[in-house]
Amino acid sequence: MELTAQSVAERLGMDRDDAWLRRLAETGPPARPLELPGPEAARVLLDRLRVAAEDREEIFAALPAAAADPVLRWILDRAHQVLLDGMGQPSGQDIFPVLPAEYGEGARYYLVLLYLATLPATLRFHAARGIPEESSWETFGQLGEVLDIHRHKYGRGGVHVPGWLTLHLRGVIHRLGRLQFELSRWEGRPVLSVHIPAVGGPIGAEACDSSFARARPFFAAHFPEHGAELAVCHSWLLDPQLAAYLPEESNVVRFMRRWELYAGQEEERDGSILEFVFRHTGQPLEQLPQRTSLERAAVAHLRAGGHWRAPSGWTRLP
C-alpha cells in the first residue's frame, strides 16, 4: 500500500496532520532513490566527520534497519529532496523534527543517515562553487560535536538539533577557523550570520580576528551574488549583563564588544545560556555545576531574580 503523510505519521506515532510530513509528501521523492552508504563507506565518512566510536557503532546498527524500513525510506527520500531544493538558499534552518525515539534506532539517527547520504550532493555543490574540499570537511565535521552534545546531555546517542544540520547539508554554513558564517538575510539585507561552535577551544581575539578576516574573501570568491557587508550574531554571548560578572579582558566580554546591539531587545532568554553553559535538562539551579566564573555568574544572576537575554548584534565585515 502506498504511504502517505498520514499513514507515515500513524506508523511513527506522530500527529496525523504533522506539517513537516505534509511538506515531505508535497515535495515527493527524488528522481533517483536516495543511496544510503554501505558499512565501509559509512565507516570512512563517520571517521572524517569526527564521530566518536560509541556513536559510530550505533549508527552502523541503524543503517540496515533504516534501509529496509519503508516508512524511514519514505522520509529519507523526501527530506533529501527538500535539502536539494534548498541547496545554497540563504533561508535559515529547515524545521526538521526529532522523530519519536520509540520507533527505534533508524528514527533516532535519521538525520545522521540523511547527512551521510546527502553529503555527496553538498560536496558537489561546494566544488561547483570552487570551495576547497578541506574547507567543506572542516564545516561538515560539526556532526561529531552535535552527537557528543546529545550524549552528554541525555546520556544516549541522537541528534536534538536536526534543523541546525540542514544548514550544513544545504551548503549555506561554512566554518572558517574558530567561527562559522552562514549565508543569511537580516532586516531585508544580505548578511553573514556568525555562529560559535563549542569544539575548537577558547574564542580568543586572535582566533576570531583571523576568522573574520577570512569571511569576506571566502564569500566574495564562492558566493559573489550574496554581497554581504555586515555580519550579525544572535547569541547569549552578546548579553551586556555578562560584563558585570566577567573580567573586561575575558574572551566572552571581548567577543561581545565586537557587536553593535539592535535596540529594544528585552526578551528573557534564560534557556539559551542554560543550554550553552550547562546543556540544561530542567534540573534545579542548586544542582548546576559551579566550577567556572561563567557557571557561577549564570546561576547567581538568576537566583538574584535577574534574567538573561540573547541579543542580536551587527558588525561591518573587515
**Binding-site ranges for ligand COA (CB under 6 A):** 196, 198, 202-203, 235-237, 246, 250-252, 276-277, 292-295
Task: Report in angstroms how near the CB of residue 283 gets to ligand COA at its nearest.
Answer: 15
C-alpha cell at 88: 545554497
174 vs 222, beta carbon nearer ligand COA: 174
C-alpha cell at 117: 547520504
Task: Report in angstroms how near the CB of residue 140 gets to ligand COA at its nearest.
Answer: 18
18 vs 295, beta carbon nearer ligand COA: 295
74 vs 255, beta carbon nearer ligand COA: 255
Q: How many CA atoms lie within 13 A of 172 on its CB side?
A: 27
Q: Cell 565585515, residue?
A: 317
Task: Report in angstroms how near the CB of residue 42 gets to ligand COA at its nearest.
Answer: 28
Q: Cell 550505533, residue?
A: 58
Question: CB neighbours of 31 closer than 8 A, spacing ≥ 6?
Answer: none
23 vs 153, beta carbon nearer ligand COA: 153
Nearest to 96, CA basis, from 20, 159, 172, 160: 20
Task: Report in angstroms how near the CB of residue 153 gets to ligand COA at its nearest.
Answer: 12
Sign of CA pseudo-dihedral 265, 266, 269, 270? positive
Alpha carbons 68 and 26: distance in angstroms, whole number: 23
Task: Report in angstroms how near the CB of residue 311 gets to ligand COA at its nearest.
Answer: 11
C-alpha cell at 280: 540544561
128 vs 244, beta carbon nearer ligand COA: 244
